[in-house]
Chains A and B, each alone.
Chain A
Amino acid sequence: MGFNLGLIWLHLTSLCLQTVTLEQIEHLHRRFKQISGDQPTIRKESFDSIPDLEFNPIRSKIVRAFFDKRNLRQGPCGLADEINFEDFLTIMSYFRPIEMNMDEEQLDHFRNEKLKFLFHMYDSDNDGKITLQEYRKVVEELLSRNPHLDESARSIADGAMMEAASICVGQMGVMPWQPAPVSLSQPAPAAQLSQTRCMRESRLNTSLRCGRGLTSTPRCTSAF
């Protein structure tokens, strides 16, 4: 593809993505080429060539996340048609590990970025809010699509929302629950809180150790 990976690394470093090493970028570059079939950009269809992804229930959401303009920092809403390698890296950078030597502010910024990424995955209509309907859809997708669980899926989603709301405002007693969409765009109480708690407990460090495999051999440089 001809562009200098070193330049990319420098560029990304300037975007506060210091924790990505040159080697990781190389590996991702190879992977990008593999997915795109040596084209400079990826489209949604390119993700069909990844066999293991088929088994994932939220596959469409994941693929969508790659093209979401909000994740790519290209705009407030909408979907890009195709992404190039830089955008690919941008998405991947949401998953880099938290380094120990960060200060509080950077840490916060980091976490917020990651949370926002996830938030955008829930928010399928790009309006910056997660409505009850969207939440229900997510729960449905996660459940094994057992048809006679549809009703239960509804109640599960509702129960989860209730819980999330009650965590933060529990002291206020029973809330008259309105079917209004729960706005979760701001560092908003319930969902954000439980999201954060959940994410702290689950290890959010999908680190980009970029598969050097067991033999760091010259195969890395073999021709594609």
Chain B
Amino acid sequence: MGTGPDPSSSGTLQPPNGTPFQETRLQVFTLDYPHVQIPFEITLWILLASLAKIGFHLYYKLPLIVPESCLLILVGLLLGGIISGAEEKSPPAMKSDVFFLYLLPPIVLDAGYFMPTRLFFENFGTIFWYAVVGTLWNSIGIGISLFGICQIEIFGLTDITLLQCLLFGSLISAVDPVAVLAVFENIHVNEQLYILVFGESLLNDAITVVLYNLFKTFCQMRTIETIDIFAGIAKFFIVGIGGVLIGIFLGFVAAFTTRFTHKIRVIEPLFVFLYSYLSYVTAEMFHLSGIMAITACAMTMNKYVEENVSQKSYTTIKYFMKMLSSVSETLIFIFMGVSTVGKNHEWNWAFVSFTLLFCLIWRALGVFVLTQIINMFRTIPLTFKDQFIIAYGGLRGAICFSLVFLLPVAVIPRKKLFITATIVVIFFTVFIQGITIRPLVEFLDVKRANKKQPAVSEEIYSRFFDHVKAGIEDVCGHWGHNFWKDKFKKFDNKFLRRLLIRENQPKSSIVSLYKKLEIKHAIEMAESGMISTAPSSASLNDYVEDKVTPLSTGEMENIREILTKNLYQIRHRTMSYNRHSLAADANEKQAKEILIRHRHSLRESVKKSNSLSRDKMDTTKATRFLSLPKDTKLPEKLRIRNKTSFKVGDSSDSELEVGTTVLNLKPRAGKILRGQRQEQPLQQFRMEWRNEVGDHDGRADRREAADQPQASIGFRQPLLSRPRFGTLSEENLTEDVRSTRPMPPPRLVRWASETERHTNKSQNNPY
């Protein structure tokens, strides 16, 4: 600290009314903590949480054995101990408000936004069944059995009434999405299971809210009439459906808003977050289910917003969401640990242990019984292993924690007992179940699979057969929801998409994914350096000799490796789930395969149409748009690009590039391409990966749109080299494209003509 006030210095003024007024000198350094206290502490907490996360990953094995949630709680406990030890006062308990209003929404938003909707709706009945009936079963079961225990005199619990027990049962039976996410992320279950447990944890919020409030009110009322019970049931419907409706409504509004945001791309992500949070707090305002509202909003928004926002905004949304939810989750667990240390406890062996016991028993029973019933209606029944994971994965977490803190002491005199019991249950589920679920899952898994390494031919056969099965499943509509799905899709296309999506051109899913994937694929290829320097001459010739030489074991190993890496991915219905990484979703992987296949088919078509393309050369010159052979140059260009910029079209380099063709064009085809390229360096405006800021945005989108028809057409029929124009709708696929100039948006034409003017000028377009 600098110079303090010097009272003996000159300048002590004596104001007229007498009190000596010490004037202080100008202080060079000051410390004003209360001014920044709150933001400072918040920042410190968040920083601490994040540093703790880094710390966990320093020892690489740690997150495998112990889920992060456990470690975070431990850290919280430690902190709580330190704080209470140092300051002799209770550490800041996590206020329920903070939890429900600030910490919980990001997590639910993140989970809802990235929820695999298709799987969710396919299993919706099961999820609903587990959530509603299961939670009811659990709460009432636990409540009643606890009441039975309380009646036993020796435990000293006789003053707890039935209603209080039921209230406690309702809040302790809530499966918690935060804990479920935290633990399941560790064990990589398949998506179906994950959806069941997680979906249940989301949907049961409606029940929990209703039951909790219901019993709380009942506890305060003197008499309970039947009308109240019916009101309770009606309330359940209102809470659930109301929440969902609010979410859907705001989701549509958000999608509609993003339709107009193409001028202000930078704040596009904000709308997503604002609208979803708005739906949450609106629902909470009416005491409806905020979790369901925000989930519905996120799922609705996802489809339409994705189409409207730019690529960069989309990435921003994804990453920001992940970041927020990660931070929230960390904070929640740390706070749970901190809040545990304190003076809020009352220990009673009987109550606590029986609570724990009943939670486990009722959960297991409930899952088992419910599954037997629901299996009659499911196409794919749940196996015993699935049931076990569902039962074992019903973790309790921060929601119970906060709810129990919210209990009014006036109504529940023995609140501290409840708090202790809740904490014990939470800790048990998070620690014991969280840590042991992984080895158990592996144990159960290992029992089944016991194969020796299959022969190569077997691998091929089995993969082939998997694809056959998947195909037949598709044909016979195995999943059984096609009726509603088709109806919804029709409605969607007719009304919703027109309204909510800017520049809606009905594209097939392949086409829109192709657009995204061209970008990603190019980036990945450049990064991974997939460049082969010499043309594979073997493939350039026909297979003249069919001589087959027996392969050594080393080669067989190689082959196996190649097979595992490259076998066409089956459309897995059982992909493993990982929440903390932005895995490419299913469609992307498949579409990526299509992309690669498409390149191959392009090559095929070039081979086929060698002679044709000579004639076409004149016509292609006239067209502004891409014709097929130019497309085949694309991947090579991108592969050889330096990694920082994706400038296209230095024709000085083009000679070399043809030599390094990875697409194995036949020599004649190569020559044709070279010839074409010299006359028509239209490749310049191919695929500029520029930043999407500024007014090039629309053009970037539209230009990419020019590629789209390739995918859809190339997939169905081998392409001849015909010029393609703009975007094609699905219906036009089989028509002769050349005769129509359907929808190249005017911008593209302009752009193309501009670049054509530039063709003879500098080849290096500085992008």
A212 vs B381: C-alpha distance in the bound complex, in angstroms?
12
Per DSSP, are chain B's interface residues mostly helix, strand or loop, or mixed?
Answer: helix
A31 vs B590: C-alpha distance in the bound complex, in angstroms?
25
A13 vs B473: C-alpha distance in the bound complex, in angstroms?
23
Q: How far is the CB of B734 from chain A (nearest CB, A)?
A: 9
**In the complex, what residue of chain B is closest to A138 when comparing beta carbons?**
B464
Interface membership of B490, Cβ < 8 A: no
Q: Contacts of B510 on A, CB cut-off 8 Å?
A: 54
Interface membership of A86, Cβ < 8 A: no
Q: Do A174 and B474 have beta carbons less than 8 Å apart?
A: no
A100 vs B568: C-alpha distance in the bound complex, in angstroms?
34
> Which of B483, B509, B569 touches A219 (beta carbons < 8 Å)?
B483
Contact with B along A82-108 (1 / 0, CB 8 A): 000000000010010000000000000
Q: How far is the CB of B340 from chain A (nearest CB, A)?
A: 41
> Which of B466, B566, B569 touches A146 (beta carbons < 8 Å)?
B566
> Which of B124, B451, B467, B603 touches A57 (beta carbons < 8 Å)?
B467
Q: Do B456 and A159 have beta carbons less than 8 Å apart?
A: yes
**In the complex, what residue of chain B is closest to A181 when comparing beta carbons?**
B546
Q: How far is the CB of B641 from chain A (nearest CB, A)?
A: 18
Q: Do A194 and B457 have beta carbons less than 8 Å apart?
A: yes
Q: Do A52 and B457 have beta carbons less than 8 Å apart?
A: no
> Which of A30, A144, A222 touches B593 (beta carbons < 8 Å)?
A144
Q: Do A155 and B551 have beta carbons less than 8 Å apart?
A: yes
Q: Contacts of A2 on B, CB cut-off 8 Å?
A: none
Q: Do A56 and B464 have beta carbons less than 8 Å apart?
A: no
Q: How far is the CB of A211 from chain B (nearest CB, A)?
A: 2
- Among A34, A195, A204, A209, residue most surrounded by chain B Cβ atoms (within 10 Å): A209
Q: Do B461 and A150 have beta carbons less than 8 Å apart?
A: no
Number of A-B contacts (CB under 8 A): 219
- Among A154, A160, A162, A194, residue most surrounded by chain B Cβ atoms (within 10 Å): A160
> Which of A52, A159, A164, A211 touches B551 (beta carbons < 8 Å)?
A159
Range for the number of chain A residues in contact with chain B: 35 or more
Interface membership of A10, Cβ < 8 A: no
**In the complex, what residue of chain B is closest to A215 when comparing beta carbons?**
B125
Interface membership of B108, Cβ < 8 A: no
Interface membership of A22, Cβ < 8 A: no
Interface membership of B715, Cβ < 8 A: yes
A62 vs B466: C-alpha distance in the bound complex, in angstroms?
12
Q: Do A58 and B471 have beta carbons less than 8 Å apart?
A: yes
Q: Contacts of A199 on B, CB cut-off 8 Å?
A: 461, 465
CB-CB contacts below 8 Å: A148-172 with B: 148-152, 154-156, 158-164, 167
Q: Contacts of A198 on B, CB cut-off 8 Å?
A: 454, 457-458, 461-462, 465
Interface membership of B736, Cβ < 8 A: no
- Among B123, B378, B457, B591, residue most surrounded by chain A Cβ atoms (within 10 Å): B457
Residues of B within 8 A of A (CB): 123-126, 374, 377-380, 451, 454-458, 460-484, 486, 508-510, 532, 536, 538-539, 543, 545-551, 555-556, 558-559, 562-563, 566-569, 571, 590-591, 593-594, 596-597, 599-600, 603, 662-664, 715-716
Residues of A within 8 A of B (CB): 27-28, 30-31, 34-35, 47-48, 50-59, 62, 66, 92, 95, 118, 121, 132, 138-139, 141-152, 154-156, 158-164, 167, 174, 177, 179, 191, 194-195, 197-199, 201-202, 204, 206, 208-216, 219, 222
Knowing that A145-B593, A149-B562, A214-B374 are A-B contacts, what are 6 other residue pairs whose CB atoms are under 8 Å apart, sorted by A's residue number? A31-B475, A148-B662, A159-B456, A160-B460, A202-B462, A214-B377
Can you name 26 A-B pairs with beta carbons within 8 Å?
A28-B476, A30-B483, A47-B475, A54-B510, A58-B471, A62-B467, A144-B597, A152-B559, A152-B562, A158-B549, A158-B551, A159-B551, A159-B559, A160-B456, A163-B455, A163-B456, A179-B546, A179-B548, A194-B457, A198-B461, A202-B461, A202-B466, A210-B480, A211-B479, A215-B377, A219-B484
